[in-house]
């Protein structure tokens, strides 16, 4: 197995069966072998810096019905909320004071937030924070909507592909959602000029090692600037509630493989990883990740954006989260930095931003 990791390090890609073989046969020893390499590459491009993104979960209304997600429209037990534009701007204000230079506006696919309203919100954030990056994570839209958001000042877009295998995609989503449209969105976003993030859940129901290998090959093909992954965590009010959670070990192993596959990619150590293990986010950094995304949402809505069970940090103030992250990263010899943390493999072609 070590030869395969050496080969991946050298070529930055493997064949489908080679990736699958690694994923099926990984051990703690092999993981350590991988992480030493993935950390080295990460240090080469990003040193010991950790980029922070301020996450603003501005609505948990959603018109979609993804089978794994706690804010799916059929979940009658989800207590719904929306933030106003003023509340979103307040989150940015406190985030800016805490050193955040990227704001991530994430939400369910909520028709209340029309394109016009989103453009208004994005333009207001852009006007007040010309030195910050604006990241959107609001799901599948038309080319025209994505373009309007970009023109209003958004720079980046996170849209996990969830799984590159269309048959697997069909087992996790209702039939009105398609793998093809999800991928179409990602290519549209790239074309428009966004820094794009795709990603997937590790250990999602019905997932095979081959599926994960396909995810890596899809990532290689798309060449995104960011890749967000985290373990699948069952949510008790969803149809997939009885499936097992993804593991810490496999998620870390996948982070290492992604770092070797796209050496300079921005790779978050996610909240879901921190949820399945108390030091999950630190271990993610040690496996090659270089981004963390603390929450800036107001405390009174924090405990309502529950995509999965036992989500951490739902009671904390933004300042506490920021401080906690500094300590956590410091404890493993890394440093949270105050800057936009743009992708280094990205050359802005179309613009002023």
Among residues 34, 52, 55, 69, which is the contact residue for ligand SAH, using CB under 6 A? 69
Among residues 91, 153, 162, 266, which is the contact residue for ligand SAH, using CB under 6 A? 162
Q: How far is the CB of 71 from ligand SAH (least distance, A)?
A: 8
> Of the candidates 276, 258, 230, 242, which has an alpha carbon nearest to the alpha carbon of residue 67?
242
Q: How far is the CB of 245 from ligand SAH (least distance, A)?
A: 8
Q: How far is the CB of 231 from ligand SAH (least distance, A)?
A: 6
Q: How far is the CB of 314 from ligand SAH (least distance, A)?
A: 15
Among residues 54, 95, 108, 203, which is the contact residue for ligand SAH, using CB under 6 A? 108
Tell me the HSE value of 131 on the side-chain side, using a 13 A CA sphere.
7
**Does 230 engage in binding with ligand SAH (CB under 6 A)?**
yes
How far out from the chain centre does Cα 342 lie? 15
Give the nearer residue to ligand SAH in terms of CB position, either 98 or 201.
Answer: 201
> Of the candidates 29, 44, 75, 21, which has an alpha carbon nearest to the alpha carbon of residue 307?
75
CA distance 113 to 106: 12
Among residues 49, 90, 109, 264, which is the contact residue for ligand SAH, using CB under 6 A? 109
Stretch that binds ligand SAH, among 121-129, 154-162, 312-320, 336-344 (CB under 6 A): 154-162
Give the burial string for 232-261 (b: 16+ CB within 10 Å, else e).
bbbbebbbbeebebbebbbbbbbbbbbbbb
DSSP conformation letters of 198-263: EEEEET-TT--HHHHHHHHHHHHHH--SEEEEEE----TTSTTTTSPPPPHHHHHHHHHHHHHHST
* Interface map 113-152 toward ligand SAH (x if CB under 6 A): ------------------------xxx-------------
CA distance 95 to 225: 23
As beta bridge partners, residue 103 has 54, 134
Q: How far is the CB of 214 from ligand SAH (least distance, A)?
A: 16
**Does 65 engage in binding with ligand SAH (CB under 6 A)?**
no
* Interface map 183-222 toward ligand SAH (x if CB under 6 A): ------------------x---------------------
DSSP conformation letters of 116-137: HHHHHHHHHHHHH-TTSEEEEE
DSSP assignment letter at 296: -
User: Which residues in 261-280 contact ligand SAH (CB under 6 A)?
Assistant: 272
Q: How far is the CB of 3 from ligand SAH (least distance, A)?
A: 32
CA distance 51 to 341: 6
**Does 307 engage in binding with ligand SAH (CB under 6 A)?**
yes
* Interface map 6-45 toward ligand SAH (x if CB under 6 A): ----------------------------------------
Give the nearer residue to ligand SAH in terms of CB position, either 159 or 318.
Answer: 159
Q: How far is the CB of 233 from ligand SAH (least distance, A)?
A: 4
Give the nearer residue to ligand SAH in terms of CB position, either 162 or 282.
Answer: 162
- Look up residue 12 and give its two tokens: 């930055």
CA distance 287 to 259: 9
User: Which residues in 74-103 contact ligand SAH (CB under 6 A)?
Assistant: none
Q: CA-based angle 134:136:218, to the nearest 5?
A: 120
Tell me the HSE value of 133 on the side-chain side, using a 13 A CA sphere.
24
**Does 255 engage in binding with ligand SAH (CB under 6 A)?**
no
Among residues 60, 106, 195, 269, which is the contact residue for ligand SAH, using CB under 6 A? 106
In the complex, the residues that contact ligand SAH under the rule CB under 6 A are: 68-69, 106, 108-109, 137-139, 159-160, 162, 201, 230, 232-233, 235, 272, 307-308
């Amino acid at each position: 197995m070590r030869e395969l990791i050496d080969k991946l390090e050298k070529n930055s890609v493997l064949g489908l069966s080679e990736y699958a073989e690694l994923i099926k046969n990984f051990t703690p020893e092999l993981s350590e072998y991988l992480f030493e390499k993935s950390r080295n590459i990460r240090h080469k491009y990003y040193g010991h810096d950790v980029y922070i993104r301020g996450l603003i979960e501005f609505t948990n209304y959603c018109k979609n019905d993804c089978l794994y997600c706690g804010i799916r429209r059929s979940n009658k037990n989800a207590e719904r909320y929306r933030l106003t534009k003023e509340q979103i701007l307040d989150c940015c204000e406190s985030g800016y004071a805490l050193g955040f230079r990227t704001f991530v506006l994430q939400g369910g696919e909520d028709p209340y937030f029309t394109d016009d309203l989103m453009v208004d919100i994005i333009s207001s954030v852009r006007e007040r924070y010309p030195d910050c990056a604006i990241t959107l994570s609001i799901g599948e839209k038309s080319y025209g909507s994505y373009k309007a958001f970009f023109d209003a000042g958004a720079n980046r877009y996170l849209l996990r592909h969830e799984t590159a295998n269309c048959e697997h995609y069909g087992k996790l989503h209702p039939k009105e959602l398609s793998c093809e449209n999800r991928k179409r969105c990602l290519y549209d976003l790239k074309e428009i000029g966004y820094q794009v993030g795709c990603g997937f859940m590790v250990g999602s129901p019905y997932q095979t090692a081959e599926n994960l290998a396909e995810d890596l090959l899809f990532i290689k093909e798309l060449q995104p600037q960011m890749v967000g992954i985290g373990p699948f965590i069952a949510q008790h009010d969803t149809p997939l509630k009885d499936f097992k959670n993804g593991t810490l070990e496999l998620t870390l192993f996948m982070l290492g493989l992604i770092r070797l596959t796209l050496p300079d990619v921005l790779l978050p150590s996610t909240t879901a990883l921190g949820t399945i293990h108390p030091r999950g986010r630190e271990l993610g950094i040690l496996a090659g990740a270089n981004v963390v995304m603390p929450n800036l949402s107001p405390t009174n809505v924090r405990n309502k954006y529950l995509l999965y069970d036992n989500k951490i940090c739902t009671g904390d103030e933004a300042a506490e989260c920021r401080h906690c992250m500094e300590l956590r990263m410091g404890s493993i010899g890394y440093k949270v930095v105050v800057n936009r943390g743009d992708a280094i493999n990205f050359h802005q072609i179309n613009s002023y931003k």
